[in-house]
Amino acid sequence: MTNPLLAPWTTPFGLPPFARIADDDYAPAVDQALADARAAIKTITDTADAPSFANTIEALEMSDALLGHVLGAFYSVSGADATLAREALMREFSPKLAAFGSEVTMNAALFARIETLWQNRDSLDLTDEQARVLLLTRRSFVRSGALLEGADRDRLAAVQQRLATLGTQFTQNLLADERDWFMALAEADLDGLPDFVRAGARAAGAERGQSGPVITLSRSLIVPFLQFSPRRDLRRKAFEAWVARGANGGDTDNRAIATEILALRAERATLLGYDSFAAYKLETEMAETPEAVRDLLMAVWTPARAMAEADAQVLTGMLHGDGINGDLEPWDWRYYAEKRRKAEHDLDEAELKPYLQLDRMIDAAFACATRLFGLSFAPVDAPLYHADCRAWEVSRDGRHIALFVGDYFARPTKRSGAWCSAMRSQQKLEGDIRPIVVNVCNFAKPEAGQPALLSYDDARTLFHEFGHALHQMLSDVTYQSISGTSVARDFVELPSQLYEHWLEVPDVLEEFATHAETGAPMPRDMLDRLLAAKNFGQGFATVEYVASALVDLGFHETAAPDDIMARQTEILDGLGMPRAITMRHATPHFAHVFAGDGYSSGYYSYMWSEVMDADAFAAFDEAGDAFDPDTARALEANILSVGGSEDPKALYTRFRGRLPGVEALLKGRGLATVEG
């Protein structure tokens, strides 16, 4: 029987034929794809023809087409619907793919051809996009060890394979802790919880085969439980389990893994001639240096910490007012902050949430894209990897633009968080290839027959991930290596964070924030209170984020620590971390940093991009219309459609006329007037 991953796909829009793919099909398909890629590389290096952009760079771009085809399908299911078989395949594939990557970038004959092109680049009559691809290709090879020789070359390859293995293990340990823990509740334990939390707990219990409600470690369920449960003992139990992910001892403990990862990254940087891993990693980002990152983070940390400490005093007074002596604890913060928000802004999450239906927020995200970029969205019936997934064809003026897949609900087989990925990326080298883009979230799944309701933070997450999706869908470049979100890490969050701003446009909420039962629009006074409270709790939110970013930076700008948790404590103590706030991502579950290299030394990038997104949205304000067509066209032309085809600083400057300062960020978070 033909492997469905290797046969032509006749499914709608070229989707993987998920209904016909068995887990046993992936390994032989990957092996065949690797063999094809190796053969393609050999064809490049064995040719007697002199190096040209077409026979070297373009041929290299196309060499792993089948591998991308197969892995696009596999990674979609392995992250969002993991099984024991798929986890085993991840452990098998990670070192194998890392070894192949090293094999390519350390191929002396291949690099010699690239280097010849680089040295003769001024005489090659390249387009601007081709010149950029050549620069990035050579840089990637050099940074992957192409200039190393002998034992150093072999050691770097071994380090890369080991890092791939450890990153996969870290991710799977975290998923196991999140999947296996839950706290069963008696009906009496639901007292004081709003209906949507009760419904979410009952749905989670049914999904896990329990006879009653449970609280899981899904953020969409545990956070509202911490906000609303009057049971301090249960809040503590849930919170301690949440922050202990990856640090529970036994086979799923991530502390030793994270320690080894840091040591190997430091060794990698030394082999490549850098003072630290942070110096190596940041060299190609907009920030360029660890010092620039630290300057930004500390400019925000100081006023944020001052605001958080002032908030802590207020919340402590509320705690004491309830007759509880002692200090405000981390499991108390969200509970009393929610009470304070209701008192100061007359804003009740339980009252607000029925107006934020998932389906209506999806409609809102689509409608904004229609008004800004002329996109249309039509539901399609297509084979997807899970029954919860939905798909839409995206078009403009009758032309197919992309297929968009939404996978919104939490489940035990899905890793935590939210992300955007592409089963297929846009490119023109092999025809007009349009992307298949996936948004994955972890919203609480409602009970059968009930609408899915979001918190305002959930709705922001939906808009955030859809901003990433637009970056993929509107891509219009020739080469896949620079398409869509293939940009600097501290630039990639600009489109996503910028898109969040449209959720706050009053016209959008007036139209799409409608009550789940009555269909009535959100009352204007509630809308005004919601927008007025948008900066409520910014001290807490900023401190928990910046603390994580500074720990990440601290781990990577010095020698690897012997005791990673002691180093985390040392960094936080040095910052004066408020005692009732924890890092948003403590080290043992800091998947951004340890599941792979993507955000290592780069968790700051959300804030770096926020400096730009606050300034970028101001361009629409200055035009007097959040949907100003000229500004939207400029945003697409200079940011969303061009991927990594130019330096991000040049792209942003062309859009806005200059690079922004930190002032817009501080103003947007309500921190501009706070003194540290």
Q: Residue 413 corresponds to which tokens in the numbers above?
A: 């087989």
Contact at 8 Å (CB) between 638 and 655? Answer: yes
Helix boundaries (H) for 481-604 = 489-500, 506-512, 524-532, 538-556, 564-575, 591-594
Q: How far apart are CA 631 and CA 624, in angstroms?
A: 10
Where in 316-389 does DSSP place strands (E)? 376-380
> Which burial class, exposed, middle or buried, applies to 77 when counting CB atoms under 10 A from its CB (0-12, 13-18, 19+)?
buried
Where in 51-140 does DSSP place strands (E)? none
User: What angle do helix axes 232-243 and 219-228 make, rounded to 10 degrees?
Assistant: 150
Beta-carbon contacts of residue 70 (< 8 Å; ≥ 6 apart): 5, 6, 26, 29, 30, 33
Largest CA distance in the chain: 84
Q: Which of 326, 351, 348, 296 is nearest to 517 (CA)?
A: 351
Helix boundaries (H) for 590-662 = 591-594, 605-623, 629-635, 648-656
Contact at 8 Å (CB) between 440 and 413? Answer: no
Nearest 10 degrees: CA dihedral of 54, 55, 60, 64?
100
Question: Is 288 assigned a catalytic role?
Answer: no
Contact at 8 Å (CB) between 594 and 254? Answer: yes
Question: What backbone phi and psi angles, to 5 degrees, belong to 400?
Answer: -65, 130
Q: Which of 364, 358, 361, 516 is nearest to 444 (CA)?
A: 358
DSSP state of 640: I
Query: Up-side HSE of residue 40: CA atoms within 13 Å toward CB?
Result: 21
Q: How far apart are CA 549 and CA 544, in angstroms?
A: 9
Q: Residue 326 corresponds to which tokens in the numbers above?
A: 């002692």
Q: How far apart are CA 89 and CA 79, in angstroms?
A: 12
Among 285, 338, 465, 557, the active-site one is 465
Q: How far apart are CA 336 and CA 317, in angstroms?
A: 10
Q: List residues with catalytic annotation.
A: 465
